[in-house]
Amino acid sequence: QQQVKQSPQSLIVQKGGISIINCAYENTAFDYFPWYQQFPGKGPALLIAIRPDVSEKKEGRFTISFNKSAKQFSLHIMDSQPGDSATYFCAASIGTGNQFYFGTGTSLTVIP
């Protein structure tokens, strides 16, 4: 059973556009929601993360929107660039230092 459901599976965006990736979860005990970026041949790299006590977190061109009542969170990449082309994973964890439950990943391609 997939604890975190991620969509879309793939996404193609024009340079300068907004990329939006969505994730949904069922377990209300989750209290940490990171997004990871993975380039081919590399390990996932922490991009941005949010806790459920805030509805939005922004770091540069990357924003997480969090809807606790809907049990959904999303990653918005503003002014998308070809260098943003990668696979993005959402994840969730319960408590500190515990296992991450990852979404299935979204392959983002930004066309110049």
Partner 1 sequence: DSGVTQTPKHLITATGQRVTLRCSPRSGDLSVYWYQQSLDQGLQFLIQYYNGEERAKGNILERFSAQQFPDLHSELNLSSLELGDSALYFCASSAFWSSYEQYFGPGTRLTVT
Q: Which residues bind partner 1 (CB under 8 A)?
A: 32, 34, 36, 41-46, 49, 89, 91, 93, 96-105
- Cβ proximity to partner 1, 72 vs 101, nearer residue: 101
Q: How far is the CB of 103 from partner 1 (least distance, A)?
A: 8
Q: Using only the alpha carbons of the chain, give its radius of gyration.
A: 13
From the CB of 4, what's the least distance to partner 1, in Å? 10
- Closest approach of partner 1 to the CB of residue 23, in Å: 13
- The answer to whether 10 touches 101, Cβ cutoff 8 Å, is no
Token output for 23: 């994730």
The Cα–Cα gap between 66 and 54 comes to 7
Name which of 9 and 112 has its Cβ closer to partner 1: 9
C-beta of 4 vs 77, nearer to partner 1:
4
Residue in 1, 31, 20, 5 with CA at minimum distance from that of residue 77 = 20
**Peptide bond before residue 44 is cis, with ω within 30 degrees of 0:** no
Nearer to partner 1, 6 or 19 (CB): 6
CB of residue 98 to partner 1, shortest distance in Å:
6
CB atoms near residue 26 (< 10 Å): 13
